[in-house]
Structure 1
Amino acid sequence: MFLDYDGVLHPSQVVMGENGPAFIGDGELFMWADRLAPLLAAHPHVQLILSTGWARHLPSEQVRNFLPVALRRRVVGSTWHRIQTDSAFSRGLPYSYWKDATRYQQVRRWVTLHRLRRWAAIDDDADGWDVADRTRLVHTQADRGLSDPAALSRLAELLRGKP
């Protein structure tokens, strides 16, 4: 499962400062993360691939370590860090392509290279998603993220294998 942070695990009002991410609205970072862990508990095989923009600014371990332990243990990689460290991931694509690539393009590249058949993504950014893959996207609202019962319900459906 591909996981974005802003607009999913907390509202999207986050800026990346010199000392890392800072929340600039009402609430706090990862305020809805505790809603994801119980849904995943019944699915121990589900792994997380971080597709958050935070990965463009911070080392992969640091990005992962912001998550609660129950989620952190499931992380197997990050799309952005893979772009930077794995030549096979970017084979045939210049680095400049990735600077402007949508998150969907990053996710799709991972899916293709790893030949994933069952996968989903949780993101507040639906830009550029192919019609064929939109059923795999739990599209959250930037200000509600996983606090939205409809998003949680859709995620539960996908985890049960219902497209």
Structure 2
Amino acid sequence: MDCLAPYDRVEIILSTSWVHHLGYQRAKNALPVALSERVVGATFHSKYFDAGTWASKPRGAQVLRYVQTHRLMRWLAIDDEILGFGDHVSHVVRCDEKLGLGDAKTQMVLCTRLAEQFG
């Protein structure tokens, strides 16, 4: 992902059902190397008290819990779902469910948001 290149300190946290179903390592390894080497964690972990109901929580709630727990000040989420993000929707790069980051428009928005948050 070319627009990540200027931001070598940006880390990736997975918030995807892949982690819940495949496990963290397999989900991480499914990404292109340029992305997977930046992955440092996931919003889902089986040790959480609510791991059994995690999948039923809105993705935004999952992400915001991670953001709050780790006291992140600058962050972005890339998701096809904005439910649960509330007032933090400006931190979400919304993508097409089928195209994800393969969509040129989504990539442009991501580049813009990276510059706003981390530039």
Alignment TM-score, normalising by the size of structure 2: 0.87
Question: Is the aligned partner of 1:60 residue 2:24?
Answer: yes
Number of matched residues? 117
Query: Larger Rg: 1 or 2?
Result: 1
Which residue type is aligned with residue 75 of structure 2? W
Question: Is the aligned partner of 1:114 residue 2:78?
Answer: no
Return the offset for 1:96: 4.6
Q: What CA distance in whole angstroms lies between the structure 2 residues aligned with 1:78 and 1:39?
A: 22
Return the offset for 1:147: 3.2
Question: Is the aligned partner of 1:137 residue 2:92?
Answer: yes
Secondary structure at 2:13's aligned position in 1?
strand
Equivalent of 2:44 in 80, 91, 96: 80
Q: What CA distance in whole angstroms lies between the structure 2 residues aligned with 1:140 and 1:154?
A: 9
Mark the CA change 1:64 to 1:96 in structure 2 (over 3 Å): closer, same or farther: closer
Which residue type is aligned with residue 104 of structure 1? G
Q: 5+ unaligned residues in a row in structure 2: which ranges?
A: none
Which residue type is aligned with residue 57 of structure 1? H
Return the offset for 1:41: 1.0
Equivalent of 2:110 in 152, 155, 159: 155
Equivalent residue runs for 1:32-111 within 5 Å:
37-81=1-45, 84-85=46-47, 87=48, 90=49, 94-111=50-67
Q: What CA distance in whole angstroms lies between the structure 2 residues aligned with 1:45 and 1:52?
A: 22
Return the offset for 1:39: 1.2
Secondary structure at 1:63's aligned position in 2?
helix
Alignment TM-score, normalising by the size of structure 1: 0.65
Return the offset for 1:99: 3.7
Return the offset for 1:117: 0.5
| Greater length-normalized contact order (CA 8 Å, ≥ 6 residues apart) | 1
More helix by share: 2
Identity score, percent: 38
Q: What CA distance in whole angstroms lies between the structure 2 residues aligned with 1:124 and 1:150?
A: 13
Deviations 1:60-110 (A, max 9, x none): 1111111121111100011112xx13x5xx5xxx44542411111110000
